[in-house]
Every structure is written in structure tokens, then in C-alpha cells.
Amino acid sequence: MLVAGFLAWWWEKARHSTHVIMRSLPVLAVSVFLIADAASVRLVIRQKYAESRKQEESGQKWLREMLEAARRPAPR
């Protein structure tokens, strides 16, 4: 939403002056890089979360197997 607001403001200013365009290009470029960086960070976080879920599920499976083995009577 902030990016859309910034782009709308920039477009309105840019229509009236080429000087505003030249001054705003570095800010626009940094904004694009920040958005791309945030998207890549989000992707990495989602992958790490999926990995930790798999590890947690395998740990829970191991624990269930141990509990079942402990409940079974010992062979005679």
C-alpha cells in the first residue's frame, strides 16, 4: 500500500517536471530492491518453516513409536 501511494505521488509529480523524475529514480530503484529483498526473505522463511515442520513431525513419529514400544509387554 505504501509503495502504491509512493508510486502515485511520484507519477503525479513526474508529469510536471523531468527534474523530479531524475531525483526520484534512485529512490524508486531502492524501493524496488527492498521489495525484492522482502520477497526473497519471505521465501527463505517459508522454506525454513517447512523444514522445521518436517523435522518436528519425524520427531513426533519417533516419540510415538517409542511410547508404543514401551506399552507392549516384554517378551518372556
Q: What is the pLDDT of residue 32?
A: 87
Task: Report the run of H or E that residue 15 belongs to, with start and end.
Answer: none
- The structure's pTM equals 0.44
Q: What is the pLDDT of residue 53?
A: 84
Dihedrals phi, psi of 72, to nearest 5 degrees: -70, 140
Q: pLDDT by residue for the chain (76 residues), tens digit each?
A: 887 888 788 777 777 777 766 777 788 888 889 889 988 998 899 888 888 888 888 888 888 888 888 888 777 6
Extents of the domains making up the chain: 2-68
d(CA 19, CA 25): 10
